[in-house]
Amino acid sequence: MARVCGYELADGTRCQVETEGAHCELHLARLNRSDVSSPALIRQHLQTNQGTVIDLKGFRFRALDFESTLFPPGRDILFDDSTFVNSRFIDVAFEGNVSFANCTFEGTIFENVCSNDSTIGCAKLDFTLAKFLGGEVPFRDCSFYACDEILFVDATFESKEPPFTMCHAKSDLVSFMGASINAERFALHICKPDLHMLMPSSLVLDASHINLARLKCNGHFEYGNLESMIDVSPFVSLIYVDFRQMQTATFRNANLTKVLFLGSPVDNVVFANPRWTGFGTSRRVCVFDDTPDEAFKHGAPLESESSDSSEFVEIDWDDRDRENTRLNQLLELYVSLKKNFEASGNYIDAGDWFYREMECRRRLIAVNRSRIVRWLRQNFFSFPPWYRFVSEYGENYTRPMWGLLATLVLGAVSYFYSGFGTDHTINYDFAWTVTGESFWGLVDAMLYSLGVMSFQVTKTGFQHGTVTATLTLAQVVLTLILVPLFLLALRRKFRR
């Protein structure tokens, strides 16, 4: 007499497939960890059991073709902890959430698989901790739309071929946090919303957040915008990525304004046609300074599952030690960026990074002292704030130029009012008139001022009393400081 299988499914319902034995054939295979190779068993399971989820957890699928399998819409599909050997997902459409968490794929491919943009949609596509083994490209011609999250967190790709080709994903968050990719090439390209471009050997993304923190990749890594879509800039976290392990790392046409490189030195990274729009005009901005980082927040839900990631997720920005650490990381990054741009002959951008480097050094002054002491030291009682004031750390030649001009004019006016008259005689005439002797007296004072600044008449100054002598000395000192700053900044700006 036939009875139902009764195997407990993920949503709490029991398998309703009729069977002669203890369980249906599919669930016997599940219990015995034996291979499932028949699509008919899957079909039977899908048709008979109408619960809220489709439970295909913990199976071993061997040479099973999911081509003819129709997944009923609106139900979450769970493949967690399953193993796929030489299996294929071809022309499959997923609706509802799909989870392949902790699955192992050996020689298994996804081809023309899509998650539809329907009313229910696919909120989450989860490949957390999945392992892709085998020489083939695991994902071809796939398009994943209307997802909140696409997760490849801590996933492993062990194949020579690139993980994606002609694939497109549209999601709020795409995360490869902690993923390890041992392929020849791993490319991500940013595309404008609703323009579904495809590229060989690449995953084209339309996402607002991309998390690539702790990404390990030993092949050629490429991230960038498609040529015509240079303005799109998702929030990208590339913290703690070791670019030196990669054969090459290229950022092409990338808008890097919202990219976090903390803890990831970029000495050997190639920045081809980069955009730093957010602070291109203002070097004063210490990059990533005032952003509490959406990218970190988006990493947060995963912290309970993988404890080693929590370290990077929860950053208390008010914490003094953390700030110290963060400033040191920023400093390291800016030095690295400066070197990078200097090496490629881009001295103007290199100068900007130097400016930010110096800003970090300034902010690191007295970082552990009380708020007031720290503020005073950072803004007045140390060398960097003055260096910044006079010539923006040697990057600005107009400031010392204006300084020299001001020294010249103020010197002349001061000589004039200190009683310095025509023929270098002292007439003690403090009246301001632009006619007659007083006017020529001012002109003469101007010439005298110029004479002092070109070290021609310094000695004469000392013969005209204490006030003029002091003015002369001050002018000489200022000139001695400003001229080298002017020349250095000029040289720095226009060196070849």
**At closest approach, how far in Å is the CB of 49 from Zn ion?**
8
Q: Of 9, 15, 150, 205, which one interacts with Zn ion (CB under 5 A)?
A: 15
**At closest approach, how far in Å is the CB of 201 from Zn ion?**
41
**At closest approach, how far in Å is the CB of 16 from Zn ion?**
8
Cα–Cα distance measured from residue 390 to residue 378, given in angstroms and rounded to the nearest whole number: 15
Cα–Cα distance measured from residue 333 to residue 339, given in angstroms and rounded to the nearest whole number: 10
CB 65 within 8 A of CB 90: yes
Q: Residues 16-55: x/- map of binding to Zn ion (CB under 5 A)?
A: -x------x--x----------------------------
Q: Please say which residue, 7 or 276, places its beta carbon nearer to Zn ion.
A: 7
Q: Please say which residue, 24 or 98, places its beta carbon nearer to Zn ion.
A: 24
Instruction: Of 460, 456, 428, 458, give the one whose Cα is nearest residue 441.
Output: 428
- 404's enclosing H/E stretch is helix 398-417
**At closest approach, how far in Å is the CB of 10 from Zn ion?**
13
Q: Please say which residue, 78 or 203, places its beta carbon nearer to Zn ion.
A: 78
Main-chain dihedrals φ then ψ at residue 202, nearest 5 degrees? -150, 155
Work out whether 221 is an interface residue with Zn ion (CB under 5 A): no
Q: What is the token pair recorded at 388?
A: 């910044």
Cα–Cα distance measured from residue 412 to residue 457, given in angstroms and rounded to the nearest whole number: 13
Q: Please say which residue, 72 or 280, places its beta carbon nearer to Zn ion.
A: 72
Instruction: Of 387, 400, 491, give the one whose Cα is nearest residue 453.
Output: 400
Q: Is the dihedral of CA 352, 357, 362, 368 positive or negative?
A: positive
Q: Please say which residue, 78 or 337, places its beta carbon nearer to Zn ion.
A: 78
Q: Please say which residue, 7 or 240, places its beta carbon nearer to Zn ion.
A: 7
For Zn ion (CB under 5 A), the number of binding residues is 6
**At closest approach, how far in Å is the CB of 13 from Zn ion?**
11
Q: Please say which residue, 39 or 385, places its beta carbon nearer to Zn ion.
A: 39
**At closest approach, how far in Å is the CB of 39 from Zn ion?**
16
- 415's enclosing H/E stretch is helix 398-417
Amino acid at 123: A
**At closest approach, how far in Å is the CB of 171 from Zn ion?**
33
Neighbours of 160 (CB within 10 A): 13
Cα–Cα distance measured from residue 169 to residue 196, given in angstroms and rounded to the nearest whole number: 9
Considering only the stretches 12-20, 356-364, 391-399, 427-435, report the one whose residues sit in contact with Zn ion under the rule CB under 5 A: 12-20
Q: Of 1, 2, 3, 7, which one interacts with Zn ion (CB under 5 A)?
A: 7
CB 163 within 8 A of CB 132: yes
**At closest approach, how far in Å is the CB of 44 from Zn ion?**
9
CB contact burial 278-308 (16+ within 10 A = b; e otherwise): bbeeebeebbbeeeebbbbebbeebeeeeee
Considering only the stretches 2-10, 83-91, 157-165, 366-374, report the one whose residues sit in contact with Zn ion under the rule CB under 5 A: 2-10
Span 163-202, contacts to Zn ion by CB under 5 A: none
Q: Of 2, 3, 5, 107, which one interacts with Zn ion (CB under 5 A)?
A: 5
Q: Please say which residue, 17 or 187, places its beta carbon nearer to Zn ion.
A: 17
* DSSP state letter for 107: S
Q: Please say which residue, 17 or 360, places its beta carbon nearer to Zn ion.
A: 17
CB 14 within 8 A of CB 7: yes
Give the residues lining the site for Zn ion (CB under 5 A): 5, 7, 15, 17, 24, 27
